[in-house]
Amino acid sequence: MKLLKQGAEALLFESEYLGRKAVVKVRERKKYRENSLDEKILSERMRAECNLLSRAKKAGIRTPAIWKIDTKGLAITSEFIEGETLLEELSKTKKAKKFCAEAGKIIGKLHANNIVHGDLTTSNILLHKNSLVFLDFGLGSISSKIEDFAVDLLAFKKTFAATHYKIIREWKKC
> Which listed residue (119, 136, 148, 152) is catalytic?
119
Cα angle 29, 34, 36 (rounded to 5 degrees) comes to: 80
Nearest distance in Å: CB 144, ligand ADP: 25
Partner that binds at residue 99, options Mg ion, ligand ADP, none, CB closer than 5 to 8 Å by kind: none
User: Is residue 124 within the footprint of Mg ion (CB under 5 A)?
Assistant: yes
Nearest distance in Å: CB 89, ligand ADP: 11
Task: Identify which of 33, 2, 9 has the alpha carbon closest to the alpha carbon of residue 135.
Answer: 9
The amino acid present at 92, given as its one-letter code, is: K
Alpha helices, H only, the chain: 35-58, 86-90, 96-112, 146-163, 165-173
Task: Identify which of 31, 68, 34, 53 has the alpha carbon closest to the alpha carbon of residue 119.
Answer: 53
State residue 97 phi and psi, 5-degree precision: -65, -40
| Catalytic-residue membership of 70 | no
Partner that binds at residue 118, options ligand ADP, Mg ion, none, CB closer than 5 to 8 Å by kind: none
Partner that binds at residue 54, options Mg ion, ligand ADP, none, CB closer than 5 to 8 Å by kind: none
State residue 81 phi and psi, 5-degree precision: -100, 120
User: Is residue 63 within the footprint of Mg ion (CB under 5 A)?
Assistant: no
Closest chain position to ligand ADP (CB): 7
Chain residues that interact with ligand ADP, rule: CB under 6 A:
5, 7-10, 12, 23, 25, 64, 78-81, 85, 123-124, 135-136, 138
Interface contacts to Mg ion, rule CB under 5 A: 7, 124, 136
Which residues form the catalytic set? 119
